[in-house]
Amino acid sequence: MEPSPAPEGRRERKKRETRERILQVAQAQFNRHGFEATTVEAIAEQADISKPTLFNYFPSKLSILQALLPEVDERFAEVIEATAQTSAVTGKRLEAFFNYVASMTEATPHLTRSLMLQSLQVYGSTEPSEGPSDLRRFPATRNALQNLLEAGIQRGEVRSDARPEQLTEYVTGIYVHQFMTWLIDPNYPLHRELVAAATFLTAALRPAPPA
């Protein structure tokens, strides 16, 4: 039997709560104003701490955003995994995930844009990393997608002439392309195109009919 973890002390609890408050405030500020327009001073003021105190937790504004990325990654993975609790076939599960991402982007466009833009440089940054060391961006989401496709292959709903890792790369490539296009053109109909992409992928992933 593993020993129980030591109870959290008052000092550790206050540090954890302060860190969480900084992230909550920063997320709200990034969503309201965007990453570039948000200042460290505004985050510190809203979090009711001094700027030097904030820097004790995060060395820069980028590192704050970096710390938000794993949470988004885990949330996306949880959405994918939750679809496994339903009776939906693989294609419908994929469509549900794409629709969720599109809806979230519509609800928090500034935050999503900030996360997407900055995630392109976070893992190549020389600053201390708060995120996963895996060079694949959003690794939990990627693993959840691969598990979804592997389960689909086992049920005969997904083609088996390519490895699950390959299929995951194809799905991820189309998914990321939609976001890259949206980043370039804010008027790009992301929700419509993500739904269309999911419909296309559902057909493309389906096993070929018997000869």
If asked whether residues 40 and 79 sit together in one domain, one would say no
**pLDDT attached to residue 10:** 80
For residues 131-156, one letter each, b for 16 or more C-beta atoms within 10 angstroms of the residue's C-beta and e for the rest, the string is beeeeebbbbbbbbbbbbbbebbeee
If asked whether residues 29 and 78 sit together in one domain, one would say no
Range of the domain at 152: 66-205
**pLDDT attached to residue 84:** 85
**pLDDT attached to residue 211:** 64
Domain boundary among 58, 75, 95: 58
**pLDDT attached to residue 5:** 61
If asked whether residues 135 and 87 sit together in one domain, one would say yes
Q: Could you give the CA distance from residue 32 to residue 38 in angstroms, rounded to a whole number?
A: 9
Sole residue written with tokens 């949470």: 71
Domain boundary among 22, 38, 58: 58
**pLDDT attached to residue 23:** 95
**pLDDT attached to residue 130:** 46
**pLDDT attached to residue 121:** 63
- Cβ–Cβ under 8 Å, residues 54 and 43: yes
Domain boundary among 58, 76, 98: 58
If asked whether residues 72 and 39 sit together in one domain, one would say no
Distance separating the N- and C-terminal Cα atoms of the chain? 56
- Is 191 in a helix, a strand, or coil? helix
**pLDDT attached to residue 131:** 46
Give the chain's residues under pLDDT 70: 1-6, 8, 119-137, 211
**pLDDT attached to residue 77:** 94
Q: Could you give the CA distance from residue 186 to residue 184 in angstroms, rounded to a whole number?
A: 6
- Report the predicted TM-score, pTM, of the whole model to 2 decimal places: 0.80
Report DSSP state, residue 48: T
Structural domains in the chain (count): 2
If asked whether residues 116 and 134 sit together in one domain, one would say yes
Torsion sign across C-alpha atoms 135, 107, 74, 9: positive
Sole residue written with tokens 């194809």: 170
If asked whether residues 77 and 51 sit together in one domain, one would say no
pLDDT, tens digit (0-9, with 9 covering 90-100), for 80-137:
999 888 888 999 999 999 999 999 998 999 888 888 877 666 544 444 444 444 545 6
Please tell me the total number of residues recorded for the chain in this structure.
211
Evaluate whether residue 197 is within a structural domain: yes
| CATH code where residue 159 lies | 1.10.357.10
- Cβ–Cβ under 8 Å, residues 170 and 94: no
Evaluate whether residue 210 is within a structural domain: no
If asked whether residues 158 and 86 sit together in one domain, one would say yes
If asked whether residues 50 and 123 sit together in one domain, one would say no
**pLDDT attached to residue 85:** 84
If asked whether residues 112 and 156 sit together in one domain, one would say yes
Label residue 136 left, alpha or beta by phi (over 0 means left) and psi (-120 to 50 means alpha): beta
- Cβ–Cβ under 8 Å, residues 106 and 39: no
User: Dihedral of the CA atoms 148, 154, 157, 160 (nearest 10)?
Assistant: 100
Evaluate whether residue 52 is within a structural domain: yes
| CATH code where residue 38 lies | 1.10.10.60
If asked whether residues 45 and 118 sit together in one domain, one would say no
If asked whether residues 49 and 124 sit together in one domain, one would say no
Q: Identify which of 204, 194, 98 has the alpha carbon closest to the alpha carbon of residue 152.
A: 204
Evaluate whether residue 101 is within a structural domain: yes
Q: Interior CA angle at 20 toward 141 and 180, to 5°?
A: 35
If asked whether residues 166 and 78 sit together in one domain, one would say yes
